[in-house]
Each structure stands twice: as structure tokens, then as C-alpha cells.
A and B are shown apart, each in its own frame.
Chain A
Amino acid sequence: MSGDIRFYGAFKDELGLKTIPSRRIAKDTYEIFIGPQHPGSGHMRIIIKVDGDVIVEAEPDIGYVHRTMEKLGEIRGWIKPIPLFERMAIHDACNITLPYVRAVEKLMGVEAPERAKYLRVLLCEINRIAAHLYGFAIFGIFLGHSTMYMWAMGDREVWIELAQELTGARLTHSYPVPGGVRRDIHDEYPDMVRRAIRYMRKRLEDYRKLFLDNPVIKSRLEGVGVISKKQVVELGIVGPNARGSGVAYDVRLADPYEVYDQLDFEIPVFEEGDALARTYVRVEEIKQSMNILEQVVDWLEKHKGEPIIHESVSSKYGPVHKKVLQEQRRAKLLPLHATMKVPAGRAIGRGETARGEVIYYVESDGGLNPYRVRIVTPSARNAIAFKYALPGHKVMDLPAIYGSLDYFPPESDR
């Protein structure tokens, strides 16, 4: 075991932030069961052992939302798992399904047309903003800051409205399909996005004043739940939680997919590793996502009328299909989608969701169903953080740490 990670008691971090000093575990500790019915949103249980009011041991008891995605993915053909896997993180739907679609595309040897790629990125970033706002809302509930809940939930509706305009559903878009996307934008859409961006930029300034710079919030978050850079690498923590600890790990940077390597944006990194840093990463990411969106809608406006689905599909279109594509900007599926076969092989699809890296290991034996789909979601990888970040803190810090990790149980339990 590497030396810096101590299992019980607080760790002294490298940056010299204030932490509770490590202490010996007294014999008369007692256990507290937190959850699955508790004030926050998390449908998980954390079993903590406390000595006085200091947590000395934490054991996340997850699996309350285990819905057997991996097993069902093996019996549902190739296209039905898209809505299925979407249910892991429905408020981040495009981000979570896109890597699976890309893995299937890789096995099939097709690549989505350029416009479809941009449209996917468009929805991905809209989802990312909405998911971060949802995270803020829940974080507000955890901290007893109900104004933040109301604000973030209200502003999230703007982005949900945009996603609904594009895909026809508020949350569960099922938008990417192997070979392309299902719908195209209409002419007024770029302006809607721009209006939303202008609104959100102004709004983030108010967020800063009301929430982030609020001394009450700061004193609850600063120096709380510190995860050091070494611990991040050792525990495999991903996403904003890793970037809040100085690890510049982002799939959009490490292994760019779709058109992310052609877009100009920053991956915000903070060195502190505490709950406040993790919160700030999310704020900065919302800003960067809006930068991406601006570039994407500019591109989409310039390249109107390009195909949104791969030739292998569109070449089989009949007159009805073509009419729908032209008039309603809706790329129809073909009956062969239900019974398609994918060449044998193995591929890994990965992408950066709002919470971090998601990995799909897809194995095909050339049949009607995937032979094996292994899913590792960011929350599943972050779950281990509870075990190692909580000890040493007071029980009152638990909601702050829990909220700052932005843990989403359905995603973690699969």
C-alpha cells in the first residue's frame, strides 16, 4: 500500500490546508447508518463509525439502484441498449450513451458524418451544463441553501428546454444512434442557444455572489474533504473531482472524440482538492461548455443541409423516409436496426460525462447481441472516495463532502 494513504483518521495534505489532526481510534466507536432515506438525493447508504462526532471509518453501501444494465445489455440487440444505458444518468443522457454508440460504430467500421458529430457535441455540452446545474441544486439542498436549489433548478430548465427542442424529450433523448443522430436543428435554434448562453453568463455572476462567494458556504467547503493528487491517482477518482485536485485528466483532452480536438476550450484545473475546489471546477466547466456551444452553433449555421446520418443508412431510405428527413429534420431508423449484426471484435468506448470518464467495453461475437458489455461509470469509480475522504471529518461535514463529490447512485450502481 502506498505510504501516503492512511486508512483511518485524517490525513495531512500536502498543501497545508486546515484539517482535523489524525487521532487514534477509541474503542467505544459506534456506527451510524445514513440512508437510503435521507434529506439529499442520494439513494445510497453510508455506514460510518464515529468517535465522538469524528468519522473514523466510512463504508459506502451502494447497490440500491442496481438495475442489471450489464446483463440486460447482453440480450437486447445492438440498438436497444442505447435507451437502456441512458437510464444510468438521465440528466446527462447524451454524454452517457455516446461512448457506447461510438464503440459500436468502431466495431461496425462506420463513422458518423461531420454534422452529426457536431450535433452530438451540441447535445453533450447542453447536457453537461444541465447536469452541473442539477448537481448545484442538490448540493444546495445538502447545505441547506434552498435558494441555490431553486435557482439552479430554474436555470436548468433553460437547457432542458433547448434539449427538448432538439430531441423531443426533456431528459431521455436517446439521441445518438450508430451512424449518426436522430434529429437535426431548425433554423431558429442557434439563436435560442445564443440567448441561453448570454443569459447564463449573467446568471453565473449572480451565482458567484450568492453562493460561491458567500462566506457561509465558503466556511463549510474550504479545506473540507481534501483529496490529494496522489490519492486521486491511487483511488482512480475521475471527472471534476480529479480536476479539483490538480489532475488534468479529461477524456476530451486525453483521447479526444467526436470533434472535441477541433474546438477551442480549456479544461479547468484547481490544485486545492477540497470541496470548494470541486465546486469551482463545475462552475468553470459550465463557462467552458458555453464557449464550446458558441463554436458549435456557429459551425452548424455555416454547414446547413449536410447529412446527419451515415450513408449506409440513408442510402436505404424510401420516399417516406426522405420526406420526413427533409420536412421534419428527423432521420428515421430502418427495420434492420432492430435486427442488425455487428462484426466480431472488441472495442472500448469512452467519453467524458459531467461526472467524469465513462468506459464501455463492448465485445461482439458477430451475433445479434453484444457478447459482453462492461460499463464503468464515473460515479462507480468515485464511490471509493467516500471510504477514504470521509474519515477524519466531523459528521456535519458529511453532507458537504457528499454533495461536492456529485455522486449519482443510478449511474454508479448501473
Chain B
Amino acid sequence: MAPKPAVKTLPRRGSLIDGVKGNLQALIVGLKYFLDPKRFTLVYPKEYSKLPKGYRGFIILNKQKCISCAACARICPSAAMKMIRIPVKDPKTGKTRMKQYPVINYQRCIFCGYCVDVCPTEALYHVPYHDVVYENLSEMFWDLETFQKEPEYKTAKEGSPVKFLIHEEYGLIKVPAEEGG
């Protein structure tokens, strides 16, 4: 049980007959797929692919769980996660003290998911979509309020969800998926 080298021989170009045969073979394969096509194209705005659970999409903050440890900002490889300090009123004592929370810069975020993985309280989580675009750069620096809301997901309203399954015969196949969830 170990890798071993294996010298193989290359099929060489043969006579004219082989050439004709090769061309015919290619045409027959083409014809085969013409008669039995394997279509799995996503008709994008009318359909959108429902991404599986655990997909590393946009990152959202659950402020209630955040303990202000700043681990997410420290581990962020592209310095997209920043900490801001805001005054928070303590419900028990009524005193106001400064607390720090993460905000995110989607101009830089690389969706590596380190911040989600490092968060000791699971205050950060991924939402399984990724197809959000912007016309202005400034919209992409999310303040604390935006960071707690999922981004406006226009696609979902436009189309119907589909998911892709791996099929033995057809490779990927497209099947309708139920909304939400």
C-alpha cells in the first residue's frame, strides 16, 4: 500500500482510417449528448440556488450573545472586522459603561469564516447567501445596526429556490427546493 510510479504509453496518431474513426467517434458522442442532454443550468434571476447548511455566506452578529472579547477582530486575516466602543446601559445597576462590539467591512471580508469559528459564544453566524452587490463602496462598511440584519435579499423575492444534487448518471441535477428553512 504505497504510491508507485507507472510508466504508461501514449496512444499515437495512426493512419488515415484512425483519423476518420476518431472524428466519427467525436461526432457520435456529440450526437449522444444532443439526444440525451444533461442540462443543469441555473436560470439565475428566476431561480436561485439554495445553499446548503453550513455555507459560509454573509456574516451576521447576534448582539445579545456578544461578550466583547474582540477575538473575531484579532483573527480576521484581512482586517475587515473592526471593534467600536459604544455606551451601554446596564439594566441592573442603571449605570452606563463603554462596551465594544464588532462591525464589519465587506469591502475586505473574504468569507473565510475564522471569526465565526473563533467566536466563543456563537454570536456570529453565517447566512447562506452570497449574491449581494453594491453600487457604492460606502454601503459596504456595516455599522452595528446593519450588522445585525441580514442583507436585503432581492433574489429570493424574484425567483424560486432550487438545489443541486449529485447524480450518478447526470453529474449535477437541479431539483426544486422549498422556500426558507
Let me know if chains A and B touch directly in the complex, using CB atoms closer than 8 Å. yes
Judging by beta carbons under 8 Å apart, are A154 and B5 in contact? Answer: no
Residues of chain B with a CB closer than 8 A to A267's CB: 3-6
Which residues of B (129-158) have their CB < 8 Å from a CB of A? none
Residues of chain B with a CB closer than 8 A to A196's CB: 166, 171
Q: A142 to B169, alpha carbons, bound, how many Å?
A: 29
Judging by beta carbons under 8 Å apart, are B22 and A272 in contact? Answer: no
Q: How far is the CB of A128 from chain B (nearest CB, A)?
A: 13
Judging by beta carbons under 8 Å apart, are A210 and B10 in contact? Answer: no
Residues of chain A with a CB closer than 8 A to B167's CB: 195, 199
Cβ of B44 within 8 Å of any chain A Cβ, yes or no, is: no
Cβ of B90 within 8 Å of any chain A Cβ, yes or no, is: no
Cβ of B120 within 8 Å of any chain A Cβ, yes or no, is: yes
Judging by beta carbons under 8 Å apart, are A335 and B77 in contact? Answer: no
Q: A253 to B13, alpha carbons, bound, how many Å?
A: 31
* Mask of B20-33 contacts with A, CB within 8 angstroms, 1/0: 00110110111011
Q: A212 to B13, alpha carbons, bound, how many Å?
A: 11
Q: A172 to B167, alpha carbons, bound, how many Å?
A: 24
Q: A269 to B29, alpha carbons, bound, how many Å?
A: 28
Number of CB contacts from chain A to chain B under 8 A? 177
Which residues of B (160-178) have their CB < 8 Å from a CB of A? 164, 166-172
Q: A318 to B121, alpha carbons, bound, how many Å?
A: 10
Which residues of A (264-284) have their CB < 8 Å from a CB of B? 264-272, 276-277, 280, 284
Cβ of A80 within 8 Å of any chain B Cβ, yes or no, is: yes
Judging by beta carbons under 8 Å apart, are A158 and B172 in contact? Answer: yes
Q: A30 to B158, alpha carbons, bound, how many Å?
A: 56
Q: How far is the CB of A122 from chain B (nearest CB, A)?
A: 15
Judging by beta carbons under 8 Å apart, are B6 and A269 in contact? Answer: yes
Q: A316 to B172, alpha carbons, bound, how many Å?
A: 41
- Of chain B, the residue at the smallest CB distance from A86 is B112
Given that A219-B13, A266-B3 are known contacts, is A333 also in contact with B118, CB under 8 Å in the complex? Answer: yes
Judging by beta carbons under 8 Å apart, are A169 and B13 in contact? Answer: no
Cβ of A260 within 8 Å of any chain B Cβ, yes or no, is: yes
Given that A209-B25, A256-B3 are known contacts, is A333 also in contact with B55, CB under 8 Å in the complex? Answer: no
Among B3, B28, B29, B75, contact of A261 (Cβ-Cβ < 8 Å):
B3
Cβ of B71 within 8 Å of any chain A Cβ, yes or no, is: yes
* Mask of A95-119 contacts with B, CB within 8 angstroms, 1/0: 0000000000000000000000000
Q: How far is the CB of B166 from chain A (nearest CB, A)?
A: 5
Enumerate chain A interface residues (CB-CB to B < 8 A).
Answer: 76, 79-84, 147, 154-155, 157-158, 161-162, 164-165, 167-169, 172, 174, 182-183, 192, 195-196, 198-199, 203, 206, 209-210, 212-216, 218-219, 222, 246, 248, 250, 252-253, 256, 260-272, 276-277, 280, 284, 318, 320-321, 324, 328, 330-335, 337-339
Closest 4 CB pairs of A and B: A248-B5, A335-B71, A80-B77, A338-B75
